[in-house]
Structure formats: C-alpha cells, structure tokens
Amino acid sequence: MAEYSNIGKRDIRVDAVKKVTGNCQYCDDLRLPGVLFGRVKRSPHPHAKLLKIDTSEAEKVYGVRAIVTAKDVPECRFGYGLKDRYLFARDKVRYVGEPVAAVAADTERIAEKAVELIKVTYEELPAVFDVNEAIKINPPVIIHPELPKYSRDIPSAKTDLGPNVSYHAKIRAGDVDKAFADTDLIVENEYKAELMHPCPLEGHNSAAKMEPDGKITVWSSSQNPNSTRAQIAAAFAMPVAKVRIITPYIGGAFGGKAMVQTEQIAVALAMKTNRPVKVRFTRSEVISNTYGRASYTARIKDGIKGGKIVARELRLILDHGGYSESGYLVPGNSKFAVVGTYDIPNVKYDAIGAYTNNPLGGAFRGFGTPEVHWAIESQMDVLADKLGVDPYEFRKKHLLKEGDTNPIGMKIHSIGVEECMDKVVHSLRQEKFEREKKNLKRGRGFAIYNKYSMAPTASAVIIKICEDGSVQVRTGAPDVGQGSETVFSQIAAEEFKMPIEKVKVFFGDTDLMPFDHGPISSRVTYCTGNAVRLACHDAINQMLQKAAKMLQTDQKDLDFNNGEIFFKQDPKKSIKIEQLFTPAALAGVFLDEGGELLGKGTFYQRTRGVDLETGKVVFESPICYYNYGAQGFEVEVDTETGVIRILKFYIASDVGKAINPGMIEAQLDAAMGQGIGIALYERMIRKEGKVMNSDFVDYKISTSAEIPKLDNIKRFIVEAPLKDGPYGAKGTGEGILVPTAPGLANAIYDAIKIRFTHLPITPEDVLKKLKEKGSR
C-alpha cells in the first residue's frame, strides 16, 4: 500500500480554530453599508387565483423603501430541471407560503409590519393534498395546466399517469411478469414517510447589491453557488456572467441549500431600491417554506424462488408539493438506489414525482436513496422472516460483487458493502443481551445501503504557488461543514510533499474561483479532490520547469520535497520555492516570466446517462461511484410509554480511502443526529397544506439526550479503493443517513414483533400498534 504523508492522517480541521473562537464568518455575519432588510409576503392559501395586491397601506409605513411583486420582475419561469416557477406568484398560488410580494425596509421589524399591511385578494380554488388522487389520469385538480409547455433541462420518461405528474423514471430489467408467474412466494408491502426538513442551524439568508456596471453581487448561504447563480440569471433573464455569488462559511445545508431560496428576492429588492438588501428567513419560514424531503409512498413486491429474490417491483411516489423545486430530479436519481446493492435479475421500477398543493419537497441528504431503502431494507427483513432465515445470510446471498454487472448494465466496482455488513453484524451479535426486562423489550436489527454520486459532473481547481513557498487552492466548492476545506488542504499538501500548514484553501466567489458543481451528491472529496490533484500536478510541473531553467538542467533530473527542489543525484544541491521569484525594488518579489505559477485542472465525469424507458446504461457509467455501508442497532422499547431508546449503535462505511479518519467518524456520527430524528421524530404536520409545526419545539430534531452511551457506539471505516478516486477515496456525506430508519425498524421488529412501515415511528404509533396487537 502506498505510503502517504498527509492522506489518512487525523489532521485537525483547518477551519477549527476560527470556528471555536467565533471568528468564522457566515453570510448572516456580514454587514453591508446602507443595507436594507427584506421580508416576504406569502400566500395563506394552498391553491387560489391571485386577483389583486394592494400595497398602498404598506407603502405608508415609515422606513419602507420598496415593495416588489410579480410586476417588478421579468415574466420568466425558472427551476431545477423543470422551469415551473415564477419568483413571485402571477395568476395563481399553488402552496401555502408561496411568495406574492416582498418589502425592503430600514429594519426587519419595519419590513415585517409592512408585509402584514399588504392586502392580497384571492379566489380560493379546490386543492389536492392526497398524492394518490393527484396522480390520477383525471385528477380533481390540475395544478399546472401549462405543464406540457414548460421547458425542461432534463427529460422525463413517458408516463401513463395524469397531468399532475412532473417526472416519471423507470427501470425495466428482465421480465418481472414472467418471473412473478413462477415463484414460491410473493410478498408485497407499502412503506411511507412524512415530509421532513433538513433544518440547517443557519437558516437561509443572503444579501444582494447592484454594482454600478450593472452586475449583481450576491452574498449567499447557498451550498451550490453556481446553480444559485444560474437560477438568479434565469429569473431575471440576464446572462449568468452578470451575477457574482460570494459564499462565506455555511452553517449546515444537507441539501436544503442546494436550490435558490432567499437570493432572488434580495436581488429583486436591490434592483428596485438600488441599495443592498438582506433577506433572512425566520425559522418558521425555513421549516415551512423552504423545501424538505418530499413525503412518499413506496410499494414493493418481491417474488421468491428457491430462497432467492427473482423479481422485484417497486413504485415510489413522491409528493413534491406545488412546484417541482429540487425535487424534480429525485425520482430519476432514485433509480440508482434500487440496483446498487443486490443482484436481482428482474426489476421493474417506477418513480413518480407529482404536484399537490402541499409544501415543497426537494433535496435532502440522500436525494432519492433513503426513500428507496426505507422500503427495500425493511422488506429484506420481512422476506427473511417469512422464509425463516437469518436476514444477514439472506442479504449475503443477494449481494452484488466487484466486477458484477447490475440489472441496468453498470459494472460494479469498489463495493465494500459485505465487509461493512460483516463488521456491524458480527460485532453486534458477539455481545450478550437481555431480551426482556418487565416492560422493556429489547431487539437488534441492521440495514445496509448504497448511495450513488451523481454524473455528469465537473470540478475545476486552480493552484497557486506563492512567493513564500506556500500553496493556494482555489475552488468553487464551499465548505458546508463536512470539512472539504481540510480535505483539499490535505490533498494539496500530499501532492506538494509539504505540511498542511503551508496550504491555504480559498472558496466561495464565482467571479474569482473556477467552476464547481458544489457540495451536493457526496461529490467533492471525489470530484473536487481529483481536480485539486490535477491542478497540483500542473503547478508542480511548472515549478520544476522553472527550477530546471534556473539550475540549467533537465526537469527530469529534479525532485522536490517540503518546499525545496533538488537534484535527484545530489539532493544537497537544491533551491527553495522562494528562490524561483525575483526581488522587486522595495516591493516584494515577482516571477520574471509567466506571471504566476498557476496550476489548473478540470475533473469531468461525463456520461450519457441511461435510457429513459428502461433505465439501462447507454454508454459510460451514469454515476461516479457508489458509497456503501451498514448500520446496526440494539434498541429498547418501553411497552408502557412507547418510547424507543437506542442502546447500541454500530456503523460502517466504505469510503474507498479515508483521507481524514477523524472527519469520516464525524460524518458517521451524524446518523446519530439526523438519522435518529428522521426515523423517530421528524415530520412536518400538515393541515390543508399548512405546516403546523414550524419551530424546534414542535418540529423535534434529536438532542444530546437521545444519544446512546459513548461506549456503545462503534464505527468501522472500510476501504474498498475506487480506481479513479483520489488515493482511492469516495464520499460518504449522504449515505450515513440511509440505513438508520430501516435498521431501527428492523431492531424494533425484533423487540416487539411489530413491523412499522410509516416514518417517523413515534411513541404514539408504538402504543397504538401494541394495543392493536394485544387486542387481537
């Protein structure tokens, strides 16, 4: 195995000191001279005609500087794959909370007061909240009658469903009907989950400023600056290059900041006032009005013959609410989850994204993968139970292996799932446990997962070798907290054979940094990491060329280490990087030719994706890689209160190569926070399309009190090297959230022999089911 000096080390995070001292700047910390504050007027109705907006009373409020409505912005639809939205509602509103107008004022409080005084007249329309009604051929309500005319960047498969379907994704592998006809057992179940929210601690916020040359600068909390930039340009019918996005540090995102939120509103207000305008959503707006993970229903049917699954039919219906948002692409990407772990010859999959008048559903850590796994990984245990076999052995005989071709024709590579499962299950099972103690019933369970990383995708990086011998990494990928800044530092330090302290990463400015698709789809360690390497190689080559010229030798005679370039044959003959520069009179140093030592690199993973009607691979892999893993639990169910306590938590992830094991562990621990929350508490309670629990008291996310004893948490890092990953590495940012819910449900079943199929699994649900079971 290769020996590395920086890769694989538990280097402390390069941003840690500023974060523990309060010196780390987030978007909300920024204070622009002359700034105004924006607030949004939102629709109280789930579906209504917009008849009149009267802003006259609001305009009279002292300190109000501008009010904008649809009339103030171009009539341009935009969207993430499907252009179905306007910035402000025009003819209709389609969900509770849809922006109708916005106010810029001297303070947030004044803006808030003015918003209340805007009078909007609506004519309420019938609404549809049940997605199964909505997708019918003749639905009660057609939410976007003009959908066939909307422009799409990414096409959908043909659908035989109704006019509220925004996207239909399919897999048709083998012949499921024929296979089902010849089976020993068919098992069919339905799994559901409620709408849930990413809830980053830093809410969505941004500030926009018009520049004298007509350009727009936007400071944003976006995790996807280039996409935000494109969406702003689309909403205002302007060239992308006119928009500059600056992203300081980001206070968590989890997919929730992948799509434009506050930014366009700030721009509209800045344009009208010609002053900088800041828009910061309240916590209630963040939870109610920025998208969560769409609520969904997954119906799964498996056919067994000779103890093996020979056919699997799965149908996932996602309710993305009034607009497709970042949810448009979820059904398509969810396909990869269906075929990433198990070798099943006949697979039929349909994933449907649909409009309702519910709140918006979109990207949230996993993007289609947790949805599919909630069904599949619960079902694997159900099947094993019906067959009377060990769920571990049952999974084992269906696992795809290195070099296999999966049902859609992808060659499987870097698959560490078996090792992950072995580590988790063996360590869980080798410990004793007491099944029952009065009203406390204990059980164990586990689940495994795959998580794709998207393609096509690109990252470009610039490396600068500085006059003091240090190295700069310039990237378009902001750090959302996962630690990419540290990963890029480690990679550059490795390539330059220098300590990490000599590397500085710069991110977050679309005018100054090269392109990056950003921290989405667990992609930056792999994609941007690869681009850092390529750019380092280019910079190192230039450095050696320059040194060879100065030393009057051939480049191939030279090597380098820790800022020194030396003769391979005679390492004592060396020069320092600093000596490549020429002193300027009384003004530092410069490079006597070529301007600067700038290395550049693009990592571009191209693909032609899959055939829309069959899901089959057309040419080249439709994804970058799969991250794999497993989670195992020991739980205790209190049959008197319904409370579920997690006693043991074991987690394994195949990361290809752990660039920083300390940060990988930190990512794995997140399953303890978000994973438990999603499985056991989190749901947005809706009433006629309105979110009833839009604060942290009623939308409960996990706290420190729910974490198992530290000694009962075990993490395993598995490394099945990825051929084209940097040092073999791949990402694990999203995958950790995937198996928590089914793993817990399997453990709960083991404890009380009740199968939960609807997330979250609350104490009320547990008591209800126990009562039903007892009375039967």
Partner 1 sequence: MRKIKLNVNGEMHELEIKDSRTLLEVIREDLNLTGAKFGCGSGECGACTMLVDGKPILSCLTLALEADGKEVTTVEGMAKDGELHPIQQAYIDEFAVQCGYCTSGLIMITKALLEENPNPTEEEVKEFIKGNLCRCTGYVKIIKAVLKAAEVMRRRG
C-beta of 673: minimal distance to partner 1 in Å? 4
| Rounded Cα distance, 672 and 676, in Å | 6
Query: Do residues 730 and 625 touch, judged by C-beta distance below 8 A?
Result: yes
Kindly report the CA angle at 239 between 237 and 245, in degrees rounded to 5?
A: 105
| Rounded Cα distance, 233 and 216, in Å | 10
C-beta of 21: minimal distance to partner 1 in Å? 6
C-beta of 682: minimal distance to partner 1 in Å? 11
Q: 3-state class of 449 per DSSP? A: strand
Please provide the distance, in angstroms rounded to a whole number, between the alpha carbons at the two ends of the chain.
60
C-beta of 659: minimal distance to partner 1 in Å? 14
Query: Do residues 353 and 321 touch, judged by C-beta distance below 8 A?
Result: no
Measured from the CB atom, is 138 or 704 closer to partner 1?
704
Measured from the CB atom, is 454 or 672 closer to partner 1?
672
For residue 607, what are the CA distances in angstroms to 16, 455, 623?
A: 37, 6, 8
Measured from the CB atom, is 257 or 312 closer to partner 1?
257
C-beta of 101: minimal distance to partner 1 in Å? 22
C-beta of 252: minimal distance to partner 1 in Å? 4
| Rounded Cα distance, 206 and 32, in Å | 11
For residue 389, what are the CA distances in angstroms to 160, 167, 302, 308, 382?
A: 39, 38, 16, 11, 10
Measured from the CB atom, is 63 or 162 closer to partner 1?
63
For residue 720 the two structure tokens come to: 């099945």
| Rounded Cα distance, 197 and 253, in Å | 11
Measured from the CB atom, is 173 or 635 closer to partner 1?
635
For residue 151 the two structure tokens come to: 């422009």
Measured from the CB atom, is 21 or 552 closer to partner 1?
21
Measured from the CB atom, is 77 or 283 closer to partner 1?
283
Comparing CA positions, the residue from 741, 732, 745 lying closest to residue 675 is 741
C-beta of 444: minimal distance to partner 1 in Å? 20
Measured from the CB atom, is 174 or 673 closer to partner 1?
673
Measured from the CB atom, is 171 or 668 closer to partner 1?
668
For residue 681 the two structure tokens come to: 């508490």
Alpha helices in 399-526 (DSSP H): 417-429, 484-496
Comparing CA positions, the residue from 601, 760, 614 lying closest to residue 674 is 760
Sign of the alpha-carbon torsion through 273, 278, 282, 285: positive
For residue 509 the two structure tokens come to: 């400015």
Q: 3-state class of 142 per DSSP? A: coil
| Rounded Cα distance, 663 and 509, in Å | 25
C-beta of 479: minimal distance to partner 1 in Å? 8
Give catalytic residues, as residue numbers: 734
| Rounded Cα distance, 746 and 325, in Å | 33
Beta strands in 500-610 (DSSP E): 503-507, 558-561, 564-567, 574-576, 582-583, 589-590, 597-605
C-beta of 542: minimal distance to partner 1 in Å? 35
CB atoms within 10 A of CB 345: 15
C-beta of 156: minimal distance to partner 1 in Å? 33
367 Cβ contact list (under 8 Å, min separation 6): 255, 329, 330, 333, 334, 520, 521, 734
| Rounded Cα distance, 494 and 447, in Å | 36
For residue 603 the two structure tokens come to: 């990592």
Q: What is the number of alpha carbons within 13 Å of residue 498 lying toward its C-beta?
A: 23
Measured from the CB atom, is 651 or 720 closer to partner 1?
651
Alpha helices in 72-182 (DSSP H): 108-117, 131-134, 176-181
| Binding interface with partner 1 (CB under 8 A) | 10, 12-13, 15-26, 28-29, 31, 198-203, 249-254, 280, 282-283, 480-483, 662-663, 665-666, 669-675, 695-697, 701-705, 707, 709-710, 713
Alpha helices in 321-408 (DSSP H): 330-338, 369-387, 391-396
C-beta of 700: minimal distance to partner 1 in Å? 10
Measured from the CB atom, is 286 or 351 closer to partner 1?
286
